[in-house]
Chains A and B, each alone.
Chain A
Amino acid sequence: MSVDKQSSEDILNEKWDFCISNLLVKTGIGLSVGIVASALIFKRKSWPIALSTGFGIGVSYAECQKTFNPTAIPGVKIIKNSSSTSG
């Protein structure tokens, strides 16, 4: 069970692992898509590469933010009955 289930102290580490891998993957996809797009469409211009890489990073960030705080959806604020804590 211990094998299946994550220990409570390892939750954050896993989240971090997931975030970094996600960042790398997304960034790499963005970079590769930008390179391909710049090479094929935008005549070897640099900005499509930077843009797509930025997209990649942004997606990974969003996903990371979701993993760390699933309830923190933009525009939604959860108010607790007992004590309200700022997010």
Chain B
Amino acid sequence: MLRVMRPATQARSTCLLISPPRQRILQIRFASNETAAKPTSTTPTQKRKFKLGKFLFSITLLSGLAYGGAVYYSLKDDKFRDNFTENIYGAKQVVDYVEDLQRQGVFYDMKKKVWRIGSKYINLPELSEDNISSDKISEFTSKENPIIRKLSDTIRELDNFMVNHDLKHAGGKILSRARDELRNLSNNIDQLKADEQDLCQKKLEEQNEKYNQIIDKYENSMDQQIKDKEFALKQQFDQEKRELYEQHYTQLNAELSRQASEHDKELKNELVRQAVDMQRRWVRDVMIMVEKERNGRLAKLDYINKRLKTLERFCIDNTENLDASIKVHRLWCALKSLQNIVEQPHRTPFIEQIVAMRRYFSTDEVVSAVLSTIDDSVAINGIDSVSDLSKRFNTVREEVRRASLVPENGGVFSHLLSFVLSKILFRKHGLVDGNDVEAILARVQYYLNKNDLDTAARELNQLEGWPKKLANDWIISARNHLEVKQAIEVCFLLCFILFYFYLNLILNR
């Protein structure tokens, strides 16, 4: 927008710049009309009366006027003053000087003087300096035309001069005429000004249009430029943004890495501290745990010991049971084989079985006691079976019968007699009472038939004398048989007892 505004101001300045030549033209016109109006100011330059001199004079005058006007204008317009002082040589000094003079009130004194002179000639009231300045002069000054103002100033000076030199009455007419002319001139100038203004307006409009076009063009170009610039700027901005971003990113990264390293360090420190703490705690825990564990282990050990003891107990019991079982089994086997042999139909030696049993059951009191009752000779010879004994009893019976009638100390004849008489003796059968030999033999036979060897042996043992002597071997045999049988039975009984005892033990466990 500033750029846009600038052409407008430039246009305005150009408009202002146009005005000085116009003023100059006016001045020239004014000068040509009013050359006679001011002969006092041109007196030094009129000395040279040749053509070149006139030219030089006019040039000097004009330039002086222009210079003066410029100086004056520069006092009023600061912008122009700047321009003026900058471009024209020595203008700054002059303007400063004039300004200094103005400040000192030199112009005011001069005005007073001029007014006094003017009042002397134009018959102005004595104290009219205020009046003139207020109503008549201000009338012109209000126009703000510098030339008019200058002219009015000149008139005022003239008035002052006339007042000072008492020429008020003489120049009063001239002055009034001058005043009228001045008024006319002012009107004319106003007219001119209006024309000029119109012209200027027209020109201004043209200019405005032209410049508007220029401005438009310029605006368009500017827009384009702005767009380009904008684009470039945007690009630049983007680039810078990117650069900044990258820079920031790198900075951020650096900061981040630094912070990360610091954090890592802190973490490491913390870790070390925590590790130390943990180790300490761990050691303590471990100690506590170890104590607990030890106690627990001791308790467990006790428990295990108890278990082990029970297990040992079980094992021992089991072993004992097993031993007992083996023992029982062996006993059983041995007894079984012994029984087998004993119950053979004929005599069979069973010394091997007896020896084996003695070896195996040397610790067993009952078995050893039982086995000790069995004689070795019996074991070697074996025992007669019941059938053998019955068979043998037949012969024994005959013999006994033959000797049944023999007295205790009987001789050959008694024996012979008994032998003969026995042939004719009645035989007894069955369970017969009586203590005679024949009855005893009958009973023995009966018991033997009933398989009751024990009672038979007992019955036969009742015999006396020769019969007893004759039956002795049979009785011994029967007794052996019975003894062995009894021993086997006792062992079997023991076996059963042991078996039931251990079975009970096992079942109860």
Using a CB–CB distance below 8 Å, which chain A residues touch chain B? 1-2, 7-13, 15-16, 19, 61, 64-65, 68-69, 71-72, 78, 85-87
Contact = CB atoms under 8 A, between A and B. Distances in A.
A64 B412 contact: yes
A9 B415 contact: no
B474 A87 contact: no
A22 to B, nearest CB: 11
29 contacts: A1-B377, A1-B381, A2-B381, A7-B473, A9-B395, A9-B399, A9-B400, A9-B473, A9-B474, A10-B399, A13-B399, A15-B415, A16-B415, A19-B412, A65-B411, A65-B412, A68-B412, A69-B409, A69-B411, A71-B409, A72-B409, A72-B411, A85-B407, A85-B408, A85-B409, A86-B407, A86-B409, A87-B407, A87-B410
Contacts, number: 55
Count class of interface residues, chain B: 20 to 34
Interface stretch (B7-15, B82-90, B464-472): B464-472
Given A61-B412, A65-B412, A68-B412, A12 B407 contact: no
B403 interface: yes
Residue from A13, A16, A68, A71 having most chain B Cβ neighbours under 10 A:
A68
Question: 5 closest pairs, A vs B, by CB?
Answer: A87-B409, A8-B473, A9-B399, A8-B472, A85-B408
B470 A12 contact: yes
Contacts of A15: 415
Contacts of A2: 381
Given A1-B381, A13-B399, A68-B415, A8 B469 contact: yes
A69 B381 CA distance: 32
A72 B415 CA distance: 14
A51 to B, nearest CB: 22
Tell me what chain A mostly uses at the interface: helix, strand, loop, or mixed. helix
Contacts of B381: 1-2
B162 to A, nearest CB: 220
Interface in B440-489: 466, 469-474
B168 interface: no
Interface of B: 377, 381, 395-396, 399-400, 402-403, 407-412, 415, 466, 469-474
A8 B474 contact: yes
B440 to A, nearest CB: 15
Nearest to B380: A1
A12 B402 contact: yes
Nearest to A60: B412
A10 B396 CA distance: 9
Nearest to B347: A2
A7 B411 CA distance: 21
Contact of B403 (A1, A12, A61): A12
A64 B466 CA distance: 16
B473 A87 contact: no
Given A1-B381, A8-B472, A12-B415, A87 B402 contact: no
Nearest to A64: B412
B95 to A, nearest CB: 191
B402 A68 contact: no
Contact of A9 (B396, B408, B409): B396
A16 B411 CA distance: 12
A11 B403 CA distance: 11
A15 B403 CA distance: 12
Contacts of A11: 469-470
Contacts of A16: 415
Contacts of B472: 8
A6 to B, nearest CB: 9
Nearest to B399: A9
A85 to B, nearest CB: 5
Contacts of B411: 65, 68-69, 72
A17 to B, nearest CB: 13
A24 to B, nearest CB: 15
Contacts of B377: 1
